[in-house]
Amino acid sequence: MLSGCTSGGAATPAPPDAAVVHTASGTLRGTVAPDHRLFAGVPYAAPPVGPLRFRPPAPASAWEGERQATRFGPRCLQDPGSDPEFGRQTDEDCLTLNVWTPPVSERKRPVMVWIHGGAFVNGSGGIYDARWLAARGDIVVVTVNYRLGTVGFLAHPGLGEPGDVGNYGLADQQAALRWVRDHIADFGGDPERVTVAGESAGGMSVCDHLVAPGSAELFDAAIIQSAPCQAQAPLPVAEQRSLEYAAAVGCPDPATAADCLRALPADKLRKPVWFVGIGADDLTGPVTGTTALPVDPPRAIADGKAARVPVLIGTNRDEFTLFVALRYLQQGDRYTPEQYPGLLADTFGPNAAEVAARYPVDRYGPDPRTNVPLAYSAAVTDGEFACVTDRMADGLSRAAPVYAYEFNDRAAPAPEPLRTLPFPVGASHSLELRYLFDVGGAPPLSGEQQTLSEQMIDYWSTFVATGAPSAPDGPDWPQVGDGSYLSLQPDGSRVTTGFAAEHQCAFWSTLGR
């Protein structure tokens, strides 16, 4: 009998090429490994350039023939002065996404749409190698680029109808979610089981999607990592800052500013527009009181107006040490005991003296090179991250199941510069990401840390699949209910009810934080 023929003589059809996916927009050719597939640089919206700059994303054009999907698309336009990827290509034509899948199967897999962090001014979806989640977690992962900084969030009143300006980056994320709804089945994903997830600014975006009218019905669960879901820029403030920004780049006349801004060279718009200042930090990002985001997320959640979906939410034990470290490395800030009251005043205003009494420098050791950065970091970690997370978890849990965690590996691998400081960064902001994604740039995980990584992947992926996290080798993860948190640790994760007390959340609630 000839190979490839059945006993009846009919040829056996060749198996489909796992590297090829046919979509309504055209055919894509990705890459195939033994345990996953990747389709990179897939356009989900039209290039937002020329007349489409400062407008909601338009549909992507279809293409003829086979499109190569083997390389990540350019990062969205960003300021090279705050560039964590050291100059990799940026472009306004950047609205692409990347799809990581398990090997081909007849079964549709649940989907996680990952929104990257970067303070709404830098970063990209291409940083996050999601093959571990696809292979071990048996889920489809979509990582997304969205407009950043000025081109993503400028809220000049001349750019649209009243209240319908800014938030272009948020609209990009919604367009990506719609693309997932319409196309992910072609990649083996289940459009009926979509979790929107993100860290830092990506997690703040998830908070926005929980309350944004345009995001309704686009996802079934949410993951919020290390995201202080706090009040964002109100429209009047954002409009005034945007008018000032436009004047500074050569478009001072509000009547002609829209055409002027759309005609500027892209390099003129790399510097972000800043809406809000908190202490030494300036912030940009989504604008509230707008058509896209009518109500601030914390208020909407407190009022029970958030999407009623399961939420996995958490924070890292030492969040703010990263930001103190970056100031130390980039600006040469060397905090001293004499500077401590001023640091607290810049951050906490009239409450600074009360904060100082709760976070005295001498509690953090005798060495001022160490104790001042650690005291300041602890105060901001508790007041701006941990207790905000605790309050959000409590509010969200009144409407749907909520599972809360604290990442507590204080020896987590960190990039080289963070290992040369006079103070330890501990379980700092973003360090949990390398337990879920292969993000590189740090020493490898130890054996115990690798076990924790696998456990976290199991928890995250079962949450994406079922709305409830579980891991075969980890403790049962209860809903937040009585203040229960899962403390994620390499020597054994454990359930604790001491999170709020450890971070002094009762004190912070008296300050309105």
**175-211 confidence digits (pLDDT tens):** 999 999 999 999 999 999 999 999 999 999 999 999 9
- pLDDT tens digits for range 273-309: 988 654 445 678 999 999 999 999 999 999 999 999 9
pTM of this prediction?
A: 0.95
pLDDT at 6 (0 to 100): 46
Average pLDDT estimate for 69-86: 80
Mean pLDDT, the chain, integer = 93
- pLDDT tens digits for range 379-406: 999 999 999 999 999 999 999 999 999 9
Q: How many CB atoms lie within 10 A of CB 109?
A: 23
Res. 7: pLDDT tops 60: no
Q: How many helices (H) and strands (E) does the chain have?
A: 15, 20
- pLDDT classification of 12: cutoffs 50, 70, 90: low
Instruction: Check residue 497 and report its DSSP letter.
Output: S
- Cβ-based burial of 431 (10 A; exposed 0-12, middle 13-18, buried ≥19): buried
224, 392 Cβ separation under 8 angstroms = yes
200 assigned to active site: yes
pLDDT at 512 (0 to 100): 77
Which residue in 345, 334, 344 sits closest to 368, CA to CA? Answer: 334
Res. 480: pLDDT tops 90: yes
pLDDT at 5 (0 to 100): 42
How far is Cα 401 from Cα 396, in angstroms, rounded to an integer? 8
- Which string of DSSP letters, residue by residue, matches 416-451? GGGGSSSS---S-TTGGGGGTSB--SSPPP-HHHHH
How far is Cα 194 from Cα 115, in angstroms, rounded to an integer? 13
Write down the H helix ranges in 272-411: 297-302, 321-331, 340-348, 352-358, 368-380, 387-397
pLDDT at 88 (0 to 100): 61
Find the catalytic residue in 25, 124, 200, 428: 200
The two three-digit tokens of residue 133, written as one number: 């989640």
- pLDDT tens digits for range 106-142: 999 999 999 999 999 999 999 999 999 999 999 999 9
319 assigned to active site: yes
How far is Cα 54 from Cα 373, in angstroms, rounded to an integer? 40
Cα separations in angstroms, 66 against 33, 142, 195, 203, 382:
20, 21, 29, 35, 51
Q: C-alpha angle with apex 206: 201 to 210, nearest 5 degrees? A: 145
Instruction: Check residue 410 and report its DSSP letter.
Output: T
What is the set of domains in the chain, with CATH numbers?
20-50+75-183+200-309 (3.40.50.1820), 315-510 (3.40.50.1820)
- pLDDT classification of 81: cutoffs 50, 70, 90: low
- pLDDT tens digits for range 415-436: 999 999 999 999 999 999 999 9
Find the catalytic residue in 199, 319, 384, 454: 319
Which residue in 85, 102, 188, 193 sits closest to 145, CA to CA? Answer: 85
Window from 26-30, 52-56, 415-419 with minimum mean pLDDT: 415-419
Q: Could you give the 3-state DSSP secondary structure of residue 351?
A: helix
Res. 246: pLDDT tops 50: yes
Question: CB neighbours of 283 closer than 8 A, spacing ≥ 6?
Answer: 119, 120, 233, 274, 275, 276, 277
Q: Could you give the 3-state DSSP secondary structure of residue 171?
A: helix
- pLDDT classification of 513: cutoffs 50, 70, 90: confident
Find the catalytic residue in 406, 429, 461, 487: 429
pLDDT at 330 (0 to 100): 79
Average pLDDT estimate for 224-237: 89
Res. 8: pLDDT tops 60: no
